[in-house]
Amino acid sequence: MPVEWVTVPLEPALESIETGSRTRAGTAIIGPAGIGKTTLARAAADRLGERFDRVDWVTATTPSAAIPFAAFSHLIDVPEVGKTAEVLRTARATLGDGRLLVVDDAHLLDNLSAALVYQLAVSGAASLVVTVAPDGTVSEEISALWEDDLLNRLDLEPPGHVESRLTAMVDEFVSALPPSAHGVLEYLAVDDPLPLAEVADLVGRDAVAEAESAGAIVIDDDLVRPAHPLFVDAVRDQLGGPELRRLRTDLVERLGAAPPRDVVAALRLAVMALDSDRAQPTAEIVTAAGEALRLGDLVLSERLAQAAVERGAGLPARLILAYALAWQGRGRDADSVLAQVDPSTLTEPELMAWTLPVAANQFWMLSEPERATAFLKATRNKVSSPAAQTTLDALSATFAMNAGGPARALQIANDVLASPSADDTAIGWAAAAAALSSARMGRFAEVDALAERAIAAGHPGLLRFTSGFGQTTALLMAGELDRAQDLGQQLTDFAQLQQPGRAIGEVLVADVLIAKGELDSAVRLLRRAAAALAPTGYSWGPLAWMLLAQALGQQGATVEAGKALSRAESRHGLKSMLFAPELALARAWTMSARGDEHGAIGAARDAARSAERGGQTAVALRALLDAVRLGDIRAVDGIARATAECDCALGQLALAHARALVRHDSAALKEASQRLTAIGMHRAAKDAEAQAK
């Protein structure tokens, strides 16, 4: 019997969708399966379509959710080179031409496709109509579409819609299908959509015609799809594991007879083959695992690489698996995978390929910086080529910086950057470390050129935030807080919800917001960022807790500030020693919230001394300005010393504020307040104003 769908009327829903098209980047249609979301989206596309040069449709499915960009593969070409951010940029450039894009069942999109949809919404490069069933897990990238107020939210729940009743009718409809028609849905339960020619070869053209006639499938552009996703969901639930495995084997044999047409097709085939009786050659699995890692799908990369390792694959598979594990924050697992390699059997290029992830994993994920540094030094003594030695030096510069030695890091980095043997990897690490070290040392004139050199080298994505932090620091010290915030936001948007990049970008933005005194916004970002960074092992994680404690302390949130400070202290170590001054400032503001003025001033002085000992003159100036805000009349000498080395707008303001405080000069304090207000440091301006009374 046909399914009696209980659906929503098209009006006034279409009016709401039209409003979303005019006032936002589009509309998200949210409601349970079977209420007519797709029908409404089609009606909206028909009504709105004449306003756009092009209208495209994307349908996500359960099988495609495991494959990067699978739902978009008919609209974009996923390049065979380039990492996540670059691929997303290319995809956005392809789709961001002002078209109307309908994304059906967006809750089933893979994370990269979901990030692409979010990116299109943020940029306003396309108008969107998105349908979502909220019953299961909805990815952050999709829920952010309406939570960030990018899309108009339209919730649908028609009277008379009963989930259990609909499920029973769908099961009855599917069970009543002729066996041949049911067989078509069985293959679609494994992979959806499927080429018409392949389905016809598998079940016969008569079966396809029968399934279409029964209303079980639709054929569109030579692709076979279920007439409703609930049909294949029901079939999938009815089939047992062995039967699904047989169906996958059939499809792997059929689809694998010819080379995959592109990266997405290759990944789709590899995933299907994993749970079939037709194993792919190990080399093909390793290649697929590498592609998934390149695209940023760490879970898929881990799954494929693990399968390859279990089949006896060599070093390349282990390296891919280790990176996939480490970047998910599973440092111990990554270390175990890498420890099973015998370095004495490796060629020098292989030794380098193995050494870099081992050392990085030890330093950040395992929080064993001493071990990592010693290992890097020992390996450098074993390699003979200048290129290999230079690359190891570049990584050691990054280690030295994070361990609180920016001057040493800068010295090593400059040697690397001057070397004719430095490859792009070495230049990326060295230039990024040099950019941040220079900024914190107060050598601002060099920061932008170093950051640009790092970017030009095509360095790994997270190093972009290292050099970017150098740039936001330099801008902040120059009194250009709005530009610093804009740059931090650009870096955050660049990550497009991809973690941990987005969280690191939010830390950079929050650092500027704290300087501006926009504490509510800073706290909101830092709570989210600290939680996202907690499992990663990166030194950005402790920094997020330090800054959160600072912001909460300035808000007077005593208990919360104390908790954030405790988390910062427990996570802080040699790998985050660069940020020791920020930790001391977190203590200062937490003490201030508790009413301990003397303790707060003492902690702020500790922050300044820590920064000075590490050669971080710019950071010392920021700490001393906080000390003045807390009432420290002895800070003036330290500020005068620091500004002699680091002449910048913020330093001059701090010096004027400190001198006015020492003299108890109300007029000068008011003038300092006005100057702080002029550059956007509103909280500091209020402190100066209060001191003038």
Q: How confident is the model at residue 240 (pLDDT cuts 50, 70, 90)?
A: confident
For residue 458, pLDDT over 80 is answered with no
In 3D, which of 593, 591, 615, 613 has the Cα closest to residue 602? 591
pLDDT tens sequence across 82-128: 777 778 888 999 999 999 999 999 999 998 999 899 989 989 999 99
Average pLDDT for residues 420-427, to the nearest whole number?
Answer: 93
Output the furthest CA–CA distance in the chain (Å, rounded): 95
Whole-number Å distance between alpha carbons of 469 and 434: 11
Are the beta carbons of 444 and 648 closer than 8 angstroms?
yes
Average pLDDT for residues 28-34, to the nearest whole number?
Answer: 94
Whole-number Å distance between alpha carbons of 93 and 82: 15
Residue 378 lies in a domain: no
In 3D, which of 229, 224, 219, 216 has the Cα closest to residue 195? 224
For residue 495, pLDDT over 70 is answered with no
CA distances from 252 to 69, 255, 258 (A): 20, 5, 10
Sheet with 223-226: list strands edge to edge.
194-195, 223-226, 217-220
Tokens of 607: 């922050």
pLDDT tens sequence across 120-157: 998 999 999 999 998 778 888 899 999 999 999 999 98
Whole-number Å distance between alpha carbons of 407 and 16: 59
pLDDT of residue 578: 97
Tokens of 487: 């740059």
Are the beta carbons of 144 and 114 closer than 8 angstroms?
no
Q: How confident is the model at residue 46 (pLDDT cuts 50, 70, 90)?
A: very high
Average pLDDT for residues 660-683, to the nearest whole number?
Answer: 96
pLDDT of residue 497: 58
Residue 237 lies in a domain: no
For residue 412, pLDDT over 80 is answered with yes
Q: How confident is the model at residue 496 (pLDDT cuts 50, 70, 90)?
A: low
Are the beta carbons of 628 and 657 closer than 8 angstroms?
yes
Whole-number Å distance between alpha carbons of 660 and 684: 14
pLDDT of residue 650: 97
DSSP-derived secondary structure for 38-57:
HHHHHHHHHHHGGGSS-EEE
Average pLDDT for residues 367-374, to the nearest whole number?
Answer: 92
pLDDT tens sequence across 212-228: 999 999 998 899 999 99
Question: Residue 276 — φ and ψ, nearest 5°?
Answer: -130, 180
Total domain count, the chain: 2
H-type alpha helices, 137-228: 140-147, 163-175, 179-190, 196-203, 205-213
H-type alpha helices, 363-446: 369-380, 386-402, 406-418, 424-441
Residue 683 lies in a domain: yes
Using alpha carbons only, how large is the chain's radius of gyration in Å? 29
For residue 587, pLDDT over 70 is answered with yes
Residue 530 lies in a domain: yes
Q: Hey, what amino acid is at 554?
A: Q
CA distances from 588 to 10, 615, 628 (A): 59, 21, 12
For residue 494, pLDDT over 90 is answered with no
H-helix or E-strand containing 27?
strand 26-30
Which of these three, 155, 186, 204, is where a domain ends? 155
Whole-number Å distance between alpha carbons of 475 and 511: 12
pLDDT of residue 536: 83
H-helix or E-strand containing 525?
helix 519-533
Are the beta carbons of 235 and 187 closer than 8 angstroms?
no
H-type alpha helices, 635-665: 635-645, 649-663
pLDDT of residue 460: 55
Residue 109 is part of a domain; what is its CATH number? 3.40.50.300
Q: How confident is the model at residue 457 (pLDDT cuts 50, 70, 90)?
A: confident
Average pLDDT for residues 193-209, to the nearest whole number?
Answer: 94
Residue 658 lies in a domain: yes
Q: Which long-range contacts (CB under 8 A, 24 or more apart) does 562-568 make?
A: 562/590, 562/594, 564/530, 565/590, 567/530, 568/542
% of the chain exceeding 90 in pLDDT: 84
pLDDT of residue 329: 80
pLDDT tens sequence across 611-636: 999 999 999 999 999 999 999 999 99
Residue 558 lies in a domain: yes
Residue 214 lies in a domain: no
pLDDT of residue 537: 83
Residue 544 is part of a domain; what is its CATH number? 1.25.40.10
pLDDT of residue 136: 73
Residue 153 three-state SS:
strand
Which of these three, 97, 127, 155, is where a domain ends? 155
In eight-state DSSP terms, residue 341 is S
Residue 552 Cα to chain centre, angstroms? 25
Which of these three, 130, 155, 180, is where a domain ends? 155
CA distances from 50 to 46, 353, 636 (A): 8, 54, 67
Whole-number Å distance between alpha carbons of 149 and 182: 42
* Structural domain range at position 40: 13-155
pLDDT of residue 643: 95
In 3D, which of 319, 201, 206, 305 has the Cα closest to residue 251? 201
Residue 286 Cα to chain centre, angstroms? 24
Burial code of 563-591, b = ≥16 C-beta within 10 A, e = fewer? bbbebbbebbebbbbbbbbbbbbbbbbbb
Q: How confident is the model at residue 6 (pLDDT cuts 50, 70, 90)?
A: confident
Burial code of 477-510, b = ≥16 C-beta within 10 A, e = fewer? bebbbebbbebbeebbebbbbbbbbbbbbbbbbb
Please state the three-class secondary structure of 8-26 as a single string.
Answer: CCCCCHHHHHHHHHHHCCE
For residue 1, pLDDT over 70 is answered with no
Residue 45 lies in a domain: yes
pLDDT of residue 87: 86
- How many other CB atoms are found less than 10 A from the CB of residue 196? 17
Q: Is 141 or 184 the better-scoring residue by pLDDT?
A: 184
Q: Whole-number mean pLDDT of the chain?
A: 93
Whole-number Å distance between alpha carbons of 85 and 91: 10
For residue 462, pLDDT over 80 is answered with no
CA distances from 13 to 39, 197, 283, 506, 674 (A): 11, 38, 51, 36, 51
H-helix or E-strand containing 28?
strand 26-30
The position carrying tokens 């303790």 is: 599
Average pLDDT for residues 248-275, to the nearest whole number?
Answer: 93
Q: Looking at 110-114, 255-259, 593-597, 636-640, which range is the least confident one?
A: 255-259
HSE-CB for 356 with a 13 A CA cutoff: 21
